[in-house]
Amino acid sequence: MKVTIKDVAREANVATSTVSRVLSDNPRISDETKKRVNEAIKKLNYKPNPIARSLAKNETRILGVVLPSDANDLLANPFFINAMKGMSMYAQSKNYYITYAFSKNEENEVENIKEMTSSNLVDGVILLRVRENDESVRYLKDKKFPFVVVGRPEYPNEVLWVDNNNFQAMYKVVNQLIKKGHRKIGFAGAMKNLNMSRDRFEGYKKALEMNNIEFDENLVVHKDEFKEYEGESACKDLLQNKDITAIVTIDDLLAFGVLKELRRQKIKNIAVVGFNNTQLAQHQKPPLASVDINADKLGYQATKLLIQTLEDNKESETTHYIVDTEFVERKSFISNK
Amino acid sequence: MKVTIKDVAREANVATSTVSRVLSDNPRISDETKKRVNEAIKKLNYKPNPIARSLAKNETRILGVVLPSDANDLLANPFFINAMKGMSMYAQSKNYYITYAFSKNEENEVENIKEMTSSNLVDGVILLRVRENDESVRYLKDKKFPFVVVGRPEYPNEVLWVDNNNFQAMYKVVNQLIKKGHRKIGFAGAMKNLNMSRDRFEGYKKALEMNNIEFDENLVVHKDEFKEYEGESACKDLLQNKDITAIVTIDDLLAFGVLKELRRQKIKNIAVVGFNNTQLAQHQKPPLASVDINADKLGYQATKLLIQTLEDNKESETTHYIVDTEFVERKSFISNK
DNA sequence: TTGTAGGCGTTATCAC
DNA sequence: GTGATAACGCCTACAA
């Protein structure tokens, strides 16, 4: 009942190898038989069995995605779901499948990766987050298993990765604030040890420098976590500077906290900017301007990079890809006139 | 380099078939050799190749999930991501993999399903939504391909499905409102043709009936879509009833609209209840009480049902499973004293 | 250009 | 109990 390559061969009066060659577009095959085979394929509605093919070719065209243990955070913002969509889109266009594994905790995460890489089921792995000194990355690198990460890893030249230009994104935001007349711009960060955090901070500093505004340490606060209460606290700290007119943050949650504190103090003339353009941003009072990191593109490009290296036997030249950010201007982005 | 069953056989001085038997816990095998084989497995760190196994057994242990074309809606509420988590959890516990396909539009959705079911790559399919007269369901049913749907389908006895008890959920909500002193309770629905909508409406009516409150058509509004503006409009309609003290809706978006309209009219003494407990519910003014449908459990149980029927050759008795809802009480759930 | 035959790593069906 | 051996469906030398 299941139609196999043999059935096609019989129907077209050729050998199975010939059918196989037609399937793989082998050049040395006569148009005549090619046509006959294709007709037989159509007539029998034959579809090659990917499992058998995988076994013979030792490749599955399946990609594995391991969701970090702290995926709960991801549930709150659209990053994950958008990245997933992007990944699926590219994978589908190239006839790849994607399988996901949710990890319960950090330990379990590495376990999942070990399982995936040693299972012979996936050709490559996509990681949606990098930690510093990331055990998953180290493991995959050591094992020389094909993988790509979203976010800049520690050895950017030895690992495939895709990321935003966080430096530039923040640079632009601050630059625009300055153009709008702001001079005293506060910075609220957290998780200082993440590359991402550092880059955004550097972008902030550079923008000031390029506009001949002196960097002022009092206008900078680094908190521990991306939480709303940290934002509130940061806001209080920054308000010590009486003449402050804007606060940039490196995460929407921090920005939410800032807005909350400003509301409580009934301060309305300070501009606030967030990062990640989470769903709640537009529902803040006032609606929060935020930098969209284009998660779908991150997922798309990550998958593209991985599949390309999987298919080119030669080591591809490009080891990374930068995805544009997009500044979403909303009410909180007021000017200082 | 890759260690196969042959290596293990050689190491343990047995035939490959013996190793295979140990692997599958075949009873007629001596403890002695079983031990020897297991040692060899451990020593060589052997893992069976799932692809080869799939080919031989004609089953892949991979489940396919097709995301409906209107998945954009899903991005807004946590349903999809939670369901996905639930699916993964159960699948992983049973050593199954899950692969996802995003559909661009409705047509593409059926295409994806055809592709999946004819590809020999997945053993079963999970659908996260049912339409009325659902083409995907019909196709799968006709083809006798194993599948499960989240939501009650048209032929509940011929299809595996998992759903909430929408009738009961709404019944309870209305019952509680009545206990809180409400008598004039408005109903704001939409998408009347969905089973889900009808069930919730029936629950509403039943609760009134059981409490000897006469059903009043003027207190009922059915709109077309689950949109905020529909909620606003419904609210205006319902406010024609001057003595109304509560409004139940069958979706958070409708409820958001109701709250918006109430705010505009500065009405504060009307209770409002939503459905789905979306992320924005808690951020409404006032925070919206809502019924949580436990999407993760829906996903978990759907997967469980599917895998169980996949493994029991006998047709399993149970064709469906009901997942509890959970009423999340918030400020909008005021009493009428 | 096409066919033959062996192999991919398992499982299943026979024998013994 | 255990061991050969033939599938599973496809690909790929090697021949012809």
A93 in reach of chain B (CB within 8 A): no
B29-78 pLDDT tens trace: 888 899 999 999 999 999 999 999 999 999 999 999 988 756 556 566 67
pLDDT recorded at residue A79? 82
Q: Is residue A336 part of a domain?
A: no
Q: How confident is the model at residue A278 (pLDDT cuts 50, 70, 90)?
A: confident
Q: Is A14 left (phi over 0), alpha (psi -120 to 50) or beta?
A: beta
Q: Which range, of A77-81, A323-327, B326-330, averages the lowest pLDDT?
A: A77-81
Type and span of the H or E element at A102: strand A97-102
Nucleotides of strand C under 7 angstroms from a protein beta carbon: 1-5, 7-13
Nucleotide nearest to A57 (CA to C1'): D11
Q: Which of residues 260-289 of A touch B (CB under 8 A)?
A: 279-280, 283
Written as six digits, the tokens of B337 are 């004293």
Indicate whether A221 belongs to any domain: yes
In a shared domain, residues A137 and A79: yes
C1' (D16) to CA (B24) span, angstroms: 44
Q: Which residue of B has its CA nearest to A284?
A: B283
Q: In what order do the strands lie in the sheet with A289-292?
A: A220-223, A185-190, A246-249, A271-275, A289-292, A326-328
pLDDT in tens, B254-281: 999 999 999 999 999 999 999 999 888 9
Residues of A in contact with B99 (CB under 8 A): 62, 97-99
Distance in angstroms (rounded) separating the CA atoms of residues B275 and B226: 11
B25 and B171, same structural domain?
no
Residue in B80, B101, B283 nearest the CB of A81: B80
Give a three-class secondary structure readout of chain B.
CCCCHHHHHHHHCCCHHHHHHHHCCCCCCCHHHHHHHHHHHHHHCCCCCHHHHHHHHCCCCEEEEEECCCHHHHHHCCHHHHHHHHHHHHHHHCCCEEEEEECCCHHHHHHHHHHHHHCCCCCEEEECCCCCCCHHHHHHHHHCCCEEEECCCCCCCCCEEEEECHHHHHHHHHHHHHHCCCCCEEEEEECCCCHHHHHHHHHHHHHHHHCCCCCCHHHEEEECCCCHHHHHHHHHHHCCCCCCCEEEECCHHHHHHHHHHHHHCCCCCCEEEEECCCHHHHHCCCCCEEEECCHHHHHHHHHHHHHHHHHCCCCCCCCEEEECCEEECCCCCCCCC
The pLDDT value recorded for residue B18 is 94
The CATH number that applies at residue A200 is 3.40.50.2300
Query: Is residue B331 situated within a structural domain?
Result: no
- Least CB-CB distance to A51: which of B82, B120, B283? B120
Q: How confident is the model at residue B200 (pLDDT cuts 50, 70, 90)?
A: very high
Mean pLDDT, chain A, as a whole number? 91
Under 8 Å between Cβ of A261 and A245: no
The answer to whether residues A132 and A177 belong to one domain is no
Whether pLDDT at A71 is above 60: no
CB B235 within 8 A of CB B263: no
Q: Which of A275, A292, A309 finishes a domain?
A: A292
Domain count, chain B: 3
CB-facing half-sphere around the CA of A210: CA atoms within 13 A: 14
- Residue A47 CA distance to nucleotide C4 C1' (Å): 24
Examine residue A146 and say whether the peptide bond preceding it is cis (omega within 30 degrees of 0). Answer: no
Domain that holds residue A14: 5-48
Tell me, yes or no, whether B160 and B173 share the same domain: no
The pLDDT of residue A280 is: 85
Same domain, B137 and B67: yes
From the C1' of D2, which residue's alpha carbon is nearest?
Answer: B18
B119 and B97 share one domain: yes
Predicted local confidence at residue B314, as pLDDT: 57
What local confidence, expressed as pLDDT, does residue B50 receive? 95
- For residue A332, being part of any structural domain is answered with no
**Residue B54 is assigned to a structural domain of this protein:** no
> What local confidence, expressed as pLDDT, does residue A81 receive?
82
* Record: contact A81-B88, CB cut-off 8 A: no
Residue B329 lies in a domain: no
Q: Please indicate, yes or no, if residue B12 is contained in any of the structural domains.
A: yes
- Per-residue pLDDT of B79-114, as tens digits, reads 888 898 899 999 999 999 999 888 877 778 888 899
Distance measured from the CA of protein residue B47 to the C1' of nucleotide C5, in angstroms: 29
List of residues 6+ apart from A10 with CB closer than 8 A: none
Same domain, B233 and B286: yes
User: Are residues A237 and A279 both part of a single domain?
Assistant: yes
| A91-135 tens-digit pLDDT | 999 999 999 888 877 778 888 899 899 888 999 999 988 877 888
The C-alpha atoms of residue A208 and residue A205 are separated, in whole angstroms, by 5
Residues A29 and A108 in one domain: no
Please check the confidence at residue A314 and state whether its pLDDT lies above 60. no
Of A47, A51, A92, the CB nearest to B101: A92
pLDDT at A45 over 70: yes
Q: Say if residue A69 is in the same domain as residue A176.
A: no
B335 touches chain A (CB under 8 A): no
Contacts of A286 (CB under 8 A, 6+ apart): A259, A330, A331, A332
**Which residues, 6 or more positions from B113, have their beta carbon under 8 angstroms from its beta carbon?**
B66, B125, B136, B139, B140
Partners of residue A101 in chain B, C-beta under 8 Å: 88, 92
Note whether B78 and B120 are same-domain residues: yes
In the 25-84 segment of chain A, residues within 7 Å (Cβ) of strand D are 46-49, 52-53, 55-57
**Residue listed under structure tokens 């929408």:** B166
Token digits for A321? Answer: 């890809």
What is the pLDDT, as a whole number, of residue A274?
97
CA distance A100 to B281: 29
CA of A185 to C1' of D6 (A): 77
Q: What's the gap in Å between the CA of B141 and the closest CA on chain A?
A: 18
A5's tokens:
């390559």
Residues B150 and B195 in one domain: no
Where residue B24 sits, what CATH number does that domain have?
1.10.260.40
Q: Is residue A54 part of a domain?
A: no
Cβ distance of B81 and A75 shorter than 8 Å: yes
Q: How far is the CA of A17 from the C1' of D14 (A)?
A: 13
